[in-house]
Amino acid sequence: MEAKALMINHEKCTGCRRCELVCSVYHENVANPSKARIKVEKWEWEGLYIPMSCKQCVDAPCMNVCPVKAISRDDAQGLVSVDNDICIGCRSCVAVCPFGAMNFNPAIKKVFKCDLCDGDPQCVRFCDMKAVDFVDVRKESLSKKRDAAFKISEAKKLGATIQYEG
Amino acid sequence: MSLDRKVAIVDLTTGKIDIKAIPLAVRKQFLGGRGLAAYLLYKYSKPGCDPLGPDNAVIFSAGILGGMLASASARTDVMTKNPLTGLLGSGNFGGFFAPELRYAGFDHIVAIGKSPKPVYIWVHDGEVEIKDAKNLWGKSVTEAQWAVREELGDPDVKCAVCGPAGEKLVRYANVMSGIKNANGRGGGGCTMGSKNLKMVAARGTMDIKIAYPREALEFDKRFIYQITSAKVNQTMGALGTPFIWGATNSWGGIRTNNFQFNQLLNADAIEPEEIDEWSKESMGSEYNMAACFGCQVHCRAKYKIPDTPLARKYGLVGKYDEGPEYTSQGAFNGEPGCPNLDTLLMGNHLVDQYGVDNLEIGSTISWAMELYEAGILTSKDTDGLDLRFGNDDAVIAMVHHICKRDTYLGNLLAEGGIRASEKIGKDSFKYLIHMKGMQNLHSDERATPALALNLALASRGSDHLRSRPAIDLYHLPVDVMRRIYSSPVAYDGPLSSDHTEYIGKPWQVVWHENCYMGVDCLGICKYHTTFLGATLPNFEDWAKVLHYNVGLDMSAKDIWDVAERANMVERLFNIREGMKKDDPFKGEILAERYFTEPCKRGAPDVIGKLIDKTKFLEMRALFYKYKGLDENGVPTPESLKKYGLENLDKEPSRI
């Protein structure tokens, strides 16, 4: 299986937080964004919304810090998982995660994080904007290349016009 | 589960807070949102009370699906006795407040009494507190929200705010949330101001159990597709509501120069595509739309105010805001005759920051402009302000003066059209385009009898969101209309595809009144029902959404009955507070100019049109009949009994 990853393009995000909603329903059978594995951080006064979720790091700090080896990474799936049977609830992983993607549920005294919904991430499925997308990691940069090239092409057109008029 | 959310009765005079459950029987009668708000207002406001006194109540009411799996289940209804009209005041806003209130454990906050000093209500995870608002009072709508987040140490607090206009008791002040989610038309901001209540702040991390989670997810996916596959919503998602304004203006349905014309000329600068282009340019991104909770339509554009001489004069260059909605185009472009983009974007920003109703303030300023041109108001009244149509600077100046009440005319207009007309005298009242004491939005309904009937009958005063059969403009084939309008209750009366006709229209208004009440009880956005698109969800689909999410099994007809009952409670409230069908101030009758002045501009089906009074009264009589009301619009004893309302006055509150 080729590893796919969540790709977040915050520019496309409309801030609706449907990803949080469907995530909590899918995993917990409840509507409750505080139990979602994804969260949209907002700077409302400038219209900036950034969805934050687990990056499934290759050299994952959460995995490295876990004193009981409850966290492991499946390279084929590109997925970092927590084994709740081993987890002792020390929250060291919460402390070291650079993205705030590891969360603690005080009700069951366990940590929780994005599990990519067994390969069909609901946040992606319900995001019509595809601000959150699920893509082959090898192709993650392709669309960005294209976008950047487009900007250069626009700049060249502008440059050409100025040259012509000059 | 969804049904375990509570009601908090907060007495601001004594500081007592009563937390109550909602009996299932009451739920089944009113569901939530606007329906339950109507019941709570009826029971918790004192009959005949001064809207600005302690006996008025203000109800913050989340829809029963708030924060759950139903597209855009984001709506909060705020209800109060309206300080502008003395009748029902009700506004409905999206954004993120309703979900947060529900995650905090509550569906409804009922504020009564009057606090001796500025306070706010803090709702969090099953608890309700009254807190000192001295650091928030005087702050603009957004400043107050960022300040309370700082104070509470949580950036995810969501608020329903009284802005500076509410503090100054401008009678059409809004409750606001976020950047621009406006609880318009209800006067709730003014009632909050009168109670020294700056805001309700909510933050919650409590579960709302979904009855059938997997099925609810799958159903919602289809439900969303039904909504977003409609062309009207795709257009809305690209251009926002200004697309409605653009289409309506080119046709000739926009009030211009108050009510003198029905089309704004030379309006290229405020065409929806122009606004969209500026939005993208000013935000530096082609992704320029923002959305309410859980909504895939995303109809709010983001923008910054451009650098123009007028924006510089008022210190507004580069200010961020969202919208503008088509109502702001009416308020700041069409009605005052100012076809300029900067005026629109500034006016929209100011009403968002002051927390005042854009429709009412725009209509009120335009009314004053017509009075000024007619010589009824003079430069002495305006402190030298040249209040002629087309003076953009004067429009922006008047927004400030009304919200601050810092000039003679500003202070006068802050009282609303009818009160101002009593002071101004002469013929001023005759120029006022109002129904039930509330001025109309910017649309012109002289060519569309169905839409005109809606205005006169809307429970909160002249308004399009209570029962407007907007799809009447689409010339739908009669068999399509028949399919829509014969469900969930049978109707075999006449229907007409002709929007200039009077026949069949009363039933359409009845149907849409129940449709919009239904969606308001559920807490879903009106753009997600049969409002602007004929294929969008209504009663049958809602029955399924309710089943999968809440586990409440109600048929489409049951939901229709809830809507019918809730509309009846709103009507009973209005009757209790003095509504009489032909009363020129509080009646269910159009402003006289609809009957006497024909449209001067627009398409061939518009030009020359006015409303035939005799036919209008016949339509109204039919509407009363369909609704089980007597010839005066009062529910008959049989109707009251049918909907279980015969003891509404006698029995104590069931919540």
Domain segments of chain B as ranges = 2-203, 230-439, 449-626
- Say whether residue B295 is in contact with chain A using an 8 A CB cutoff: yes
Sign of CA dihedral B318, B322, B326, B332: negative
Hey, which residues does B558 pair with through a beta bridge? Answer: none
Cα–Cα distance between B503 and B494 in angstroms, integer? 7
Residue A146 has pLDDT above 90, yes or no: no
Question: Tokens 């509410």 appear where?
Answer: B166
For B207, the token pair is 């579960």
Identify whether the C-beta of residue B40 lies closer than 8 Å to the C-beta of residue B50: no
**DSSP H or E run through B19:** strand B17-20
pLDDT at A140 over 90: no
User: Minimal Cα–Cα distance from B70 to chain A, Å?
Assistant: 10
Cβ atoms of residues B170 and B236 within 8 Å: no
B2-203 — its CATH code? Answer: 3.60.9.10
Q: Measured between alpha carbons, how far is B454 from B224 in angstroms, rounded to an integer?
A: 28
Of A16, A26, A122, the CB nearest to B295: A16
**Which CATH number describes the domain made up of B230-439?**
1.10.569.10
Q: How confident is the model at residue A164 (pLDDT cuts 50, 70, 90)?
A: very low
* Interchain pair B228, A128: CB under 8 A: yes
User: Which residues in chain A are closer than 8 Å to B179, comparing Cβ atoms?
Assistant: 44-45, 47
Helices (H) and strands (E) in chain B — how many of each?
A: 25, 18
pLDDT at A165 over 60: no
- Residue ranges per structural domain of chain A: 4-137
State the pairing for strand pair B158-162/B106-112: unpaired
Candidates B64, B293, B300: best to mutate against A (most CBs of A within 10 A) is: B293
Mean pLDDT of chain B: 97
Q: What is the mean pLDDT of residues A15-44?
A: 98
Q: Is the CB of residue B226 less than 8 Å from the CB of residue B296?
A: no
Start-to-end C-alpha separation, chain A: 56
Cα separation, B570 vs B458, whole angstroms: 10
Class of domain A4-137: alpha beta
SS3 A119: helix
B340 DSSP 8-state letter: -
- Per-residue pLDDT averaged across B10-17, rounded? 98
DSSP assignment letter at B130: E
Please give the Cα distance from B512 to B221 (Å, whole number).
Answer: 25
For the record, the structure tokens of A165 come out as: 């008029």
Which CATH architecture is the domain B449-626 placed in? Orthogonal Bundle (1.10)
Is B178 at the interface with chain A, CB within 8 A?
yes
CA distance B515 to B487: 11
Q: What angle do CA B509, B512, B515 make, to 5 degrees?
A: 155
Q: Is the per-residue pLDDT at B555 higher than 80?
A: yes
Strand partners, B290: B300
CA distances (Å), origin B291, targets B271, B280, B405: 22, 16, 34
Q: How many Cβ contacts (< 8 angstroms) between chains A and B?
A: 97
Structure token pair of residue A74: 């499946």
- Which residue(s) pair with B7 in the sheet? B20, B108
User: Does residue A142 carry a pLDDT above 90?
Assistant: no
pTM of the model: 0.97
Confidence of residue B391 (pLDDT cuts 50, 70, 90): very high
Two tokens at B14?
């004594």
Average pLDDT over residues B190-208: 98
Dist CA B85 CA B181 (whole Å): 23
The neighbour count for residue B105, using CB atoms within 10 Å, is 23
Task: Give the H/E segment covering residue B100.
Answer: helix B97-103
Whether residue B193 has pLDDT greater than 60: yes
B437-470 residue pLDDT tens: 999 999 999 999 999 999 999 999 999 999 999 9
Minimum CA–CA partner of B65 in chain A: A31
- Omega of the bond leading into B488 within 30 degrees of 0 (cis): yes
CA distances from B98 to A28, B108, B602 (A): 21, 9, 41
Per residue in A60-118, pLDDT (tens digit) is: 999 999 999 999 999 999 999 999 999 999 999 999 999 999 999 999 999 999 999 99
Q: Determine contact: B323 vs chain A, CB below 8 A.
A: no
| Residues A137-156: b if buried by 16+ CB within 10 A, e if exposed | eeeeeeeeeeeeeeeeeeee
Q: Is A25 in contact with B208 (Cβ distance < 8 A)?
A: no
What ipTM was estimated for this complex?
Answer: 0.96
Give the Cα separation of B85 and B384 in Å (integer). 30
Q: Measured between CB atoms, which of B99, B291, B320 is closest to A14? A: B291
- Best of B5, B65, B96, B280 to disrupt the A interface by mutation (most A CBs within 10 Å)? B96
DSSP three-state, residue B6: strand
B166 Cα to chain A: minimum distance (Å): 22
Q: What is the DSSP letter of A123?
A: H
Say whether B263 sits in a helix, a strand or coil: coil
All residues of chain A having their beta carbon less than 8 Å from the beta carbon of residue B289 are: 14
Question: Looking at residues A115-129, what average pLDDT do you find?
Answer: 97
Q: What pLDDT shows up at residue B2?
A: 82
Kindly report the length of chain A.
166
CB-closest option in B142, B205, B213 to A25: B213
C-alpha dist (Å) from residue B36 to A11, B43, B62, B383: 39, 11, 9, 46
